[in-house]
Structure 1
Amino acid sequence: MGREHHARLPRTRARFRGATGAVLFALLLLALAAVPAGAGADGARGDGVSSDWASGNGFRSDRFRKEAARAVRAHERARARVDRLRESDASPTEVKDAERRRKAVRAGLWDLLWATGRNSGDPVAVDPSGQDSRCPFGDRSHPPERRAHPWTAPTRRYWLSAGYAAKGSRWAHRHTGQDFAVDSGTPVYAVGAGTVRATTCGDGFGNQVVVRHRDGYFTQYAHLSRIDVRKGGRVTAGQRIGLSGATGNVTGPHLHFEVRITPYVGSAVPPLPWLRRKDVQVTGAPALP
């Protein structure tokens, strides 16, 4: 285990509390120990992206996947409790304590997935700016002239194809987002204001953008043909972040839209209910699993 990884452990250990946290911390140690001895300073192998991850199967360990899913459910329960407390006019102390517990679960999940992502070659973890992979960047987009609703749908004139948790031969386990079937070259928009966390290409998600929003959640826009934003840039709701395409592990052009608790694979939550909580109604029924 490298010096950089050891430096993270004292801070990380304090984040993991309770039964779920103890298991996640143990898995984190295994993930860090598994980083190849010949890896570069960023924990990646020579080419930066492993063949497993490039084929869309990077997060394939059942043990890690199940524990990550358990932590995701724990986080969403904690988030729902915070919302209920705020709506019921609970005391500030009670709300603060519930929010602290939610953040602790997210922090533990974040460190676990960061470690597994670095080891597996997830581009979001090893090359978040997309510079090493020479992603197809277009000119930087600008915010829309008219300020839209604080939240919006990620694209227009679509029909819903594969939904969240759908089964299929194209995925190692279950589908982790919502697919919007659109022609290649269709504009793709940020669903809300935020900061671009990653712009990457070269794995099963093809060309992708990950945005962090003010509520702490992340949205992913994958299989793009062009990327019109840069890592670290700010975006507003309805701002174009790229064009749809058919890059990565696909059978045809579409937008893969995902909502995550962290920037990394393994922390997805159902995207359509999340959008509905933002008063965004996505029309049309998703395809059956």
Structure 2
Amino acid sequence: MKRYAYYLSCINESMTKEVDRSIDLWQNDLGIEMVKLHESTCCGGSNLDYVSPKHFALVNGRNIALAEKLGLDLVVSCNTCLMTIRTAKKKLDESPDLKKEVNDLLKKEGLEYKGTSNVRHLLWVLAEDVGFEAIRQKVRVPLNKYRIAPFYGCHILRPSTVLGKDDPLDPSSLDKLIEALGGTSLPYEHKNRCCGFHTLLVAEEESLNVAAEALEEAIQIKADFIVTPCPLCHTVLDGYQAKALKQAHIQSSIPVFHLSEMVGLALGYTDKQLGIKRHIVS
């Protein structure tokens, strides 16, 4: 059993609870255990670094230090949390002065940021630690009836200087996971594009235009559903889908699944167990 410190993101704790619910169901089936870090705090998204760089380093240094205290890598299931925490780690590892300043504050909690724990996405754990062949052997209900459009989202791909796993221009890990689960992964231009989430509150029309373009292409290639490893992408593509498609004068719809739900379906769990009925699009 491979153990990881699991970061509880704000979005999964509130709007997309079905992500963690799904992981809880099947993690042991794949020989992994996610130890939830209940004392972790919000990573600050893509905003805190611009408002207060020192607080940005402190809160995320603390999140990583909690994993290091357990001697485990930190695993996230949100792309923005991934990019944010890995960015903070990079800054702390490259600046001894910043690291000392953060550790002087962490001492009050009996914590220390050492830089020993890696920060990884759930998709990377499935690809690198569990392995696609091992996943293929665990499949109980192959997804061979489904044509699936993978939507990676920005923050698991870019900036590559912080992330550096998949090729940001031609990512493949999610495609390979779909195939390991028995599904057909469809090539399309928007699989590595932005969902529009981070401009939703300040430029809704432009944000929904971006989402509508991705949704429209997935519909045009006759995908049965879209799957994404990011709950923020899911929030836009599912929760705001009707509004986005109406704005673009598109009279259609397409289901959007979380990565963890797609895995759960192939491992034999029901849509009710996985929380799929919480989605906006049926």
Choose between structure 1 and 2: higher strand proportion.
Answer: 1
TM-score by length of 2: 0.30
Choose between structure 1 and 2: higher helix proportion.
Answer: 2
